[in-house]
Amino acid sequence: MLMYMLIMMFFSGALMFVLNRKHLLMMLLSLEFIVISLYFGMFFYLSNMTYEYFFSMIYLTMSVCEGVLGLSMLILMVRVHGNDYILTFSFLW
């Protein structure tokens, strides 16, 4: 039952990532939701198998770094372009 809930969380985050591709903030939020669902899955797997939680701490550290990098890109984009629309990036075309 728990596994189905985690799979549902992952796919709902992926669906929101695909559907909200206009705004950078919504894309970052859906990516963080995917990361959290993967973290929960890894945490429950490690707790059921009675393994150490060291790898989960490394994963959590890397996901925090990824979130900070995304927020810094969002702040830079808002300061330069005035909004968070992906289509305003001129260097993506």
pLDDT of residue 12: 95
Number of domains present in the structure of the chain: 1
Query: Which CATH number do you get for residue 25?
Result: 1.10.287.3510
To the question of pTM greater than 0.75 for the whole model, the response is yes
Residue 92's CB is within 10 A of a number of other CB atoms, namely: 7
Name the residue range of residue 40's domain: 2-92
- Spell out the per-residue pLDDT of the chain, length 93, in tens: 888 999 999 999 999 999 988 888 899 999 999 999 999 999 988 888 888 888 888 999 999 999 999 999 889 888 888 888 877 766 555
The token duo for 50 is 């009675």
